[in-house]
Structure 1
C-alpha cells in the first residue's frame, strides 16, 4: 500500500497544479485587451500511479493514483486560419494602398472641384467662340482673354505634370521605406525563431508569448508582400517570397530594391520617354530576382505604373493633340495686322472634272504690290474642270495657279499678296465656298512645346493679341494697314468647335471635351473598383478574424469560471493536506 506521507505529496501536487492553472487564467485575463495575444490553457494530467503492474508488485485492488500535474501550457491557435489571414492580408494591403493613392491622383487633377483641367479647357475654347461673335474693331479684350485663359490652361498642365512626377517619386521612396521595414521584420522573426528554439529545447517548456510576438510580426509582413509561411516540427517559422526563402530558422535574407531607368513608348507610338524620365523597381535576394505580386509594395508599384500611363497616354496625349490641332488651324489663319496672303489652297475635290457640279461663278482676284491693288474678275463656267479654273486664274499677272492632285493651289509672285473674293450673282454659286478655298495663313503657332511638361503659349501670341489668327483671309484693299477680313473669324470658329463638335483622330476620334471627360471617368471607375475590392477583403478578413477569436480570443466570463473551478480545487486540495496532517498526528502522537 502507499505511504501515509504519500497523501501529503498528492495534496501538495494538487495545490501546485491548481495554483499554476490559476496563474494561467490570470495571465489570460491580464492580456484580454491585447490583440496579438493567444489564449493559453493549462493542460492537467495525472501523475504516474503508485506501483506499476509487474510480476513483483504487491497485490491489491489496483493502482493508486498519485495526483495531478500541469503537463503543458498550450497556446490556443489554428494554423490554418492564420495562413488564410496572412494570405488575405496581402490583398487588403494592395487594394488599400491602390485606393488611397489613386485618390491622390484624382486630387492632383482636381476634376471634382472648380478650376479643374476640364473647366480650364472648356473656358479656353469658349473664349474662341466668344471671339466669333465679337465686334471686329473692339475685339482686343476678347483676344486678351483668350491669351490669359491659354496661359492658365498651359500652366495648369505644367503643374499637373510636375505634381504627378513628384508624386511618383514619393511613391518610389515609399517602396524603399517599406522594403527596409520588410527586412527589419524578417530579421526580428529570425531572432524570435532563435529564442523560441532555445526555450523549447526543454520539451517541458513552450514559448507561447514569443510565438504570439512572432505571429504579430508575420501579420505586419503579410500586409506588405505576398509571403508564404510554414511552421516546422521545431516550431520554426519558415517564410518565403514566391519560392525564395527570406526567413529560414534563425537566418534572414534581405530584399534589395533597385530603381532602373527604362525607355517607354506611348500607346499610340508617337511619344518616346527615354532613360531617366521613368524608372521601374526590381527586387533581388542574394542576387536572384524576386517578384512581389501582392501586398502594399505591389499596390505602390501599380500606382506608379498608373501615373506613367496617366502622363504618357492621357495628359501628354491631351497636350500634344491640343498643340497639334490648334496650331494646325491657327497656321492657316490671319491676325488683325496681317495685310495679305501669299498662298491659297482648296479642299480636296471629289470631282476634279467638274468641281462646281455644272454651276457657274464669278470671283475677283486682288493682287497688291504693297502700294496698289489691282483687281481682275474671272468667270468660272459650267463644266469647267479644276485645271480650267487654274488656267483662268493664271491669266492674272503675278499669280500662279496649279493643280496638285485633287487640290487647287494659288501663289503670288515675290513681293505681292493675293486675295480672292466672291462676286457671284444670284443665279451663280460661291466658288470660294464650293472649292473650300482658303489662305494657307500667316503660319504662326498658337502653342509651343510638345507635351504637358513643355506646353506654353507661343511668344508670337503671348504679348501680341493682334496676332491671334481668327480669320481665314487677309487683305488691305483700303490701305489702312489693317486686315479687311478681321471680322471673318472662321478660324476662331473652327478652333472653338474642337471642344465638342470636331472629332480628333489622335484622341480616338473624340472631341477634346469627350476625351478628358472619359479619362476623368475612367480614373473614378478605377477608384471605385479599388474601394470595392478593399471592402471585399475587409469582409473576408473580418470573418477570418472572428474565427480566430473563437479559437484564440480571451473570454472574461470563461476565465472567471475557470478561476472559480481552480479556486475550489485549491481549497479541496488544502482540505486533503489538512486531513492528512490530522491522520499523521494521530499516527505519530496519538498511539501510545
Structure 2
C-alpha cells in the first residue's frame, strides 16, 4: 500500500536524477581540454516497484514504479585500447628518441661547413705524393707534417664530439647520453612513486564502493608517460590497485615501488640500468662466465658451458743470448730482411742487439709483444687470442728466424662454449656477437647460469643505451680502426725507407702500446701523434727507398736525397684495401662509417613515423569511446534539462491535486 505522497517521491527522484546527470554533463564539458580525462555518465536504474492493493479498484497483483535511482557515475574507459596505447607509446618514444639522437651523430660525422676526414685523408696522401717529386724540399716536408697534424686534429675532434655525446668517463657533460640516462631514470623513479601514491589514494577513496574516476584518470596519464621512458606491463586488481613490471622485475606493487639505478663497473665501462645500486651480477659463477647487459630486445636466461678459453699464441727462442746488448751478428745472425706477421723488417745484425730487435718489433704495432726473459730468450706473444692470430715468421735475406729457432710455448686457441642449444666458436674470450645487447666474458672452463632478462627493452631508456653502446661506440671503434690502420700501414713502409741522413727504421707516427688484447685500436685516436723523431727533425722523414750498392748486398743504403720512391709507396697506400677482408680502401671505409649511421637513422625515422601513425589511430579510437564530444554533451544537457522540467511539473501537478483534496473539499 502506498501513501498519498508516493507520487512526490517519484517526482523527487526524477528531479534528483536529472540534476545529477546535468552535473555530470557539465563536468564533461568543463574537462573537454583536460589531459587524460575520461568522459563520464550517470548510470540510472528504476527503483524497486511496489504492489498495488485492490481496496477501490481491481488491481490486485500489479506493481507500480517507484521512481529512478542513480546507481553510479561511470567513466567510459576502453581498457583494451589503453593497454595498446601504453605498449605503442614505448615503441614510439624509443624509435623517435633513437632517430633524434642519431641525427646528432650524423651531424658530427658529416662535419658540415668544415673539411671532413675523407677530404683531409686525400690531402695527407697528396702530401706524400708531392714530397716524392722533391724529397729534399723542406717546405714539402713541413707541409706533410702540417697535413698530418690537421688529419689527426680532425680525427680527435670528431672522436671527442662523439665521446662527449656518448658521455664517457672523462666527458660526462649535461647534454651527454650518460647524463640524459641518469635524468630519465630519475623521471622513471618519480613517476613510479607518484603512481604508487595514487594507488594508495584510489584504494582509500574506493573503500565505500565509490569509483575514484578522476584519480584513475591521473594514474593513466602517469602510466602512459612512464611507458615513454621504459617498457612496462600493467596488471590491475579488483580493488583498483595497479602493479607494473619492467621485464621480470617489479617496478610498482600497489602502494610501494622499487627504484631504478644507473650503475657501472668502473669509470672505463658504460653504465646499465638495474634495480640494484651495485652493478648487477648476472652469473651464479663469475669464475666461469660473466655478462654485461645494456639494451636488449630479448629475454636471455640460460646456461653457458665453457669447454675451452681463447688463448694467444706465444713463442720463445730456443737459444739464449748473452750479453743482451751485444750485436746479433755475434750469434750468427746475418743482416737483411725477415717477415713477421706479414710485415717485412730490415735488420742490421752488426748494429742491432736482441733488446733492440724486441723494441723494433714492439714499435711496429704488428699485434705482437716482444720481450726478453731472465734467461736471455726472446719471447713473442700475440696481442690477439684465437687461431687466426698465429705468429707467422720467415727468413728473407737474413737468417734471423732460423737462428732464433722459435718454439711454441702456448698454442693459439679459439674459445668454445655453448649457450642453450647453440655452440659458439670465437677468437676472443670477450664475446659481444652471440647475443644482441649482451657482452659475455669467459673466465674459465665449466658451467655458469646467466640470468640476463633485461629491465629495459623499449622506451627512451633503450634508445639512449642503444645509441650510446651500439651506434656511437660502433662509429668510434671504426674511426679508431681507421686511424690505427693509417698509422700502422704508414709506419710499416716508412721504417723501410731512409731519412736525409741515411737513417732507416724510423716510425712516422708515434707507436702505441696496446691497451687491450684483441682490441689493439681501442681509443687510439686519443694518443695519435706524429713521432717525436719526425717533429724534431723534418729530415727524419724517410722519403727515399734506398738502393743496393752491390748485387750481393743484404742491406739497402742511401746517401742523402734519394729518389722519393718510399714516399710514392706511402702515397699509394690510399688505393690499398686493408678492411673487410681486403675489399675496402681507406676512403670507402670512412664512407661506410657515415653511411651506416645514416642508414640506422633513416630506419629509426621510418619506424617512428609508422609508430606515430599507429599511436594516432589508437588515440582516435579511444577518443570515440572515452573522449568528450561537445555536440553530444550539449544534446544530453538539453535532454536532462527537459527531464528535470518534466519531473518538476509532475511535482507541481501533484501539489495542486493534493491542495484540491485538502482545501477544495472544505
TM superposition score normalised by structure 2: 0.65
Distance apart, 1:158 and its partner CA: 2.1
CA gap 1:127/1:248 in 2 versus in 1, 3 angstroms:
same
State the Cα deviation string for residues 442-469 of structure 1 (Å, max 9, x = none): 2221111541110011222225333322
How do residues 140-151 of structure 1 correspond to structure 2 at under 5 angstroms? 140-151=138-149
Q: Please say if residues 317 and 507 of structure 1, whose CA atoms lie closer than 8 Å, have aligned partners that are also in contact.
A: no
Of the three residues 448, 459, 463, the one matched with 1:295 is 459
Of the three residues 505, 509, 514, the one matched with 1:447 is 509
Match of 2:259 in 1: 254
Q: Which SS does the other structure have where 1:4 is aligned?
A: coil
Q: Please say if residues 195 and 222 of structure 2, whose CA atoms lie closer than 8 Å, have aligned partners that are also in contact.
A: yes
CA gap 1:18/1:63 in 2 versus in 1, 3 angstroms:
same
Distance apart, 1:119 and its partner CA: 1.8
Q: Please say if residues 495 and 504 of structure 2, whose CA atoms lie closer than 8 Å, have aligned partners that are also in contact.
A: yes
CA gap 1:453/1:296 in 2 versus in 1, 3 angstroms:
same
Of the three residues 603, 606, 619, the one matched with 1:532 is 606
Return 207-216 or 13-22, whichever deviates more: 13-22
Cα distance in 2, alignment partners of residues 314 and 326 from structure 1: 18
Q: Please say if residues 270 and 469 of structure 2, whose CA atoms lie closer than 8 Å, have aligned partners that are also in contact.
A: no
Return 142-151 or 441-450, whichever deviates more: 441-450
Q: Which SS does the other structure have where 2:265 is aligned?
A: strand
Q: Please say if residues 128 and 492 of structure 1, whose CA atoms lie closer than 8 Å, have aligned partners that are also in contact.
A: yes
Q: Please say if residues 51 and 63 of structure 1, whose CA atoms lie closer than 8 Å, have aligned partners that are also in contact.
A: yes
How do residues 279-358 of structure 1 correspond to structure 2 at under 5 angstroms? 279-284=270-275, 291-306=455-470, 309-310=473-474, 313-335=477-499, 337-338=500-501, 340=502
TM superposition score normalised by structure 1: 0.73
1:548 aligns with 2:548: no
Cα distance in 2, alignment partners of residues 507 and 163 from structure 1: 29
Gap regions ≥5 residues in structure 1: 262-275, 341-440, 477-482
Distance apart, 1:93 and its partner CA: 2.0
1:565 aligns with 2:570: no
CA gap 1:111/1:166 in 2 versus in 1, 3 angstroms:
closer
1:520 aligns with 2:594: yes
CA gap 1:505/1:178 in 2 versus in 1, 3 angstroms:
closer
Cα distance in 1, alignment partners of residues 270 and 526 from structure 2: 18
Return 154-163 or 520-529, whichever deviates more: 154-163
Distance apart, 1:140 and its partner CA: 2.8
Cα distance in 1, alignment partners of residues 32 and 562 from structure 2: 83
Runs of 4+ in 1 over 6 A off after TM superposition: 286-289
Cα distance in 2, alignment partners of residues 306 and 182 from structure 1: 23
1:230 aligns with 2:207: no
1:68 aligns with 2:68: yes
Cα distance in 2, alignment partners of residues 208 and 144 from structure 1: 77
Distance apart, 1:484 and its partner CA: 6.0
Distance apart, 1:508 and its partner CA: 4.6
Cα distance in 2, alignment partners of residues 67 and 282 from structure 1: 60
Distance apart, 1:111 and its partner CA: 4.5
Cα distance in 2, alignment partners of residues 517 and 101 from structure 1: 20
Distance apart, 1:309 and its partner CA: 3.4
Match of 1:488 in 2: 563
Gap regions ≥5 residues in structure 2: 168-175, 283-453, 513-523, 550-557
Q: Please say if residues 155 and 456 of structure 1, whose CA atoms lie closer than 8 Å, have aligned partners that are also in contact.
A: no
Cα distance in 2, alignment partners of residues 149 and 574 from structure 1: 95
Distance apart, 1:156 and its partner CA: 2.0
Distance apart, 1:485 and its partner CA: 6.4
Of the three residues 160, 177, 183, the one matched with 1:177 is 183
Distance apart, 1:213 and its partner CA: 0.1
Match of 1:157 in 2: 155
Match of 1:417 in 2: none
CA gap 1:247/1:52 in 2 versus in 1, 3 angstroms:
farther
Q: Please say if residues 321 and 506 of structure 1, whose CA atoms lie closer than 8 Å, have aligned partners that are also in contact.
A: no
Q: Which SS does the other structure have where 1:42 is aligned?
A: strand
CA gap 1:505/1:79 in 2 versus in 1, 3 angstroms:
closer
State the Cα deviation string for residues 249-299 of structure 1 (Å, max 9, x = none): 2122222331124xxxxxxxxxxxxxx433331412699876222111111
Match of 2:249 in 1: 244
Cα distance in 1, alignment partners of residues 471 and 535 from structure 2: 31
Match of 1:195 in 2: 201
Q: CA RMSD in A?
A: 2.7
Cα distance in 1, alignment partners of residues 540 and 59 from structure 2: 124
Q: Please say if residues 260 and 273 of structure 2, whose CA atoms lie closer than 8 Å, have aligned partners that are also in contact.
A: no
Distance apart, 1:165 and its partner CA: 2.5
Q: Which SS does the other structure have where 2:493 is aligned?
A: helix
